[in-house]
């Protein structure tokens, strides 16, 4: 092989690597968005459970003594 064909092969490999990095970058952005959505949903559920726990314990305190 000549140096010119080696250079062309190297450039082709760089283009392929660049395309793969672009695809992976888009996938990482999508996963980050999905993780953020899940984090918000978990926080919402935590708030609901805390409210239920608070309501459950406050009702027990209001029971008349027997």
Structure confidence at residue 62 as a pLDDT band (50, 70, 90): low
Distance CA 32, CA 2 (A): 45
pLDDT of residue 55: 86
What is the reported pLDDT for 24? 98
Residue-wise pLDDT for 34-43, tens only, equals 999 999 999 9
């Amino acid at each position: 092989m000549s140096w010119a064909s080696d250079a062309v092969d190297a450039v082709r490999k760089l283009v392929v690597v660049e395309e793969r990095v672009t695809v992976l970058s888009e996938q990482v952005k999508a996963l980050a968005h999905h993780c953020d959505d899940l984090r918000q949903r978990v926080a919402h559920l935590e708030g609901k459970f805390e409210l239920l726990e608070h309501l459950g314990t406050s009702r027990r305190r209001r029971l008349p003594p027997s």
